[in-house]
């Protein structure tokens, strides 16, 4: 096994370094606080473990192929989430068009990551994270759908931020950075839809409040 940068957020041989623990705990506490107040039954405490599992999957990856597989599963889940939002019947025509656009862009992310993983000789996953999608089925208003999407996109940004510290190949780092930037664009639009501060931080890394 090749040596890894000690500053990277990974868990190796069962021993988590102090930086990884600190980052995990900070994210967990923030997600819990946001989950308890942001969207009631939809964006509640029950969603927090599923959101954290997304970032943990990236943090635990040991190779570029493993990171890509985690990213593909995340993107597949995002595609399914926006498709469910479109079919929910609670969106205005304008917001529905936004959800359709975001869904297409998530599908493009998945396609690019799938091609990259195949280029490494890997087999792309085809499933989604059912636990992550489940709360969306209880959305009864557009606000609840938007709150869910904000939480999902925020965790996606955090996951890609972590991936940027671990990817070995420059071309994969470029793809990851481009996807992270697009997820940040999604966050701006979603925040605006809820009359939130669209750009609460100069550095979008998944830790700023949604």
Average pLDDT, the chain: 80
Residue 204: which pLDDT band, with cuts at 50, 70 and 90? Answer: confident
Residue 10 lies inside a defined structural domain of this protein: no
Residue 2 lies inside a defined structural domain of this protein: no
Give percent of the chain above pLDDT 90.
54
Is the pLDDT reported for residue 3 higher than 50? no
Are the C-beta atoms of 159 and 71 separated by less than 8 Å?
Answer: yes
Residue 198 lies inside a defined structural domain of this protein: no
Residue 103 lies inside a defined structural domain of this protein: yes
Number of domains into which the chain is organized: 1
Residue 26 lies inside a defined structural domain of this protein: yes
Are the C-beta atoms of 98 and 140 separated by less than 8 Å?
Answer: no
The per-residue pLDDT for range 103-149, each reduced to its tens digit, is: 999 999 999 999 999 999 999 999 898 888 888 888 899 999 999 99
CA pair distance 173, 46, nearest whole angstrom: 32
Residue 207: which pLDDT band, with cuts at 50, 70 and 90? Answer: low
Residue 180: which pLDDT band, with cuts at 50, 70 and 90? Answer: very high
Residue 26: which pLDDT band, with cuts at 50, 70 and 90? Answer: low
Residue 73 lies inside a defined structural domain of this protein: yes
Strand partners, 12: 15
Residue 202 lies inside a defined structural domain of this protein: no
**Residue 151 burial (C-beta neighbours within 10 Å; 0-12, 13-18, 19+):** buried
Residue 1: which pLDDT band, with cuts at 50, 70 and 90? Answer: very low
pLDDT of residue 47: 63
Secondary structure letter of residue 39 according to DSSP:
B
Range of the domain at 137: 17-193
The least confident of 2-16, 41-55, 117-131 is 2-16
Residue 173: which pLDDT band, with cuts at 50, 70 and 90? Answer: very high
Residue 210: which pLDDT band, with cuts at 50, 70 and 90? Answer: low
pLDDT of residue 208: 53
- φ, ψ of residue 67 to 5 degrees: the values are -65, -45
Residue 4 lies inside a defined structural domain of this protein: no
Q: What is the CATH number of the domain that holds 120?
A: 1.20.1260.10
The closest of 50, 34, 46 to 150, measured between CA atoms, is 34
């Amino acid at each position: 096994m090749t040596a890894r940068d000690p500053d990277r957020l990974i868990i190796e041989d069962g021993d988590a370094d102090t930086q990884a623990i600190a980052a995990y705990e900070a994210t967990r506490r923030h997600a819990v606080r946001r989950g308890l107040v942001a969207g009631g039954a939809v964006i509640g405490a029950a969603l927090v473990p599923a959101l954290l599992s997304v970032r943990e999957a990236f943090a635990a990856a040991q190779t570029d192929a493993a990171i890509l597989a985690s990213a593909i599963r995340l993107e597949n889940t995002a595609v399914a989430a926006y498709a469910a939002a479109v079919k929910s019947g609670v969106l205005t025509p304008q917001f529905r068009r936004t959800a359709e656009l975001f869904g297409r862009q998530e599908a493009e992310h998945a396609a690019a990551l799938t091609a990259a993983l195949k280029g490494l000789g890997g087999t792309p996953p085809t499933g989604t994270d059912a636990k992550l999608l489940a709360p969306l089925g209880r959305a009864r208003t557009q606000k609840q759908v938007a709150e869910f999407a904000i939480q999902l996109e925020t965790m996606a940004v955090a996951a890609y931020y972590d991936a940027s510290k671990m990817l070995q190949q420059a071309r994969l780092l470029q793809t990851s950075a481009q996807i992270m930037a697009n997820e940040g664009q999604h966050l701006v639009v979603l925040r605006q839809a809820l009359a939130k501060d669209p750009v609460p931080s100069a550095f979008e890394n998944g830790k700023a409040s949604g």
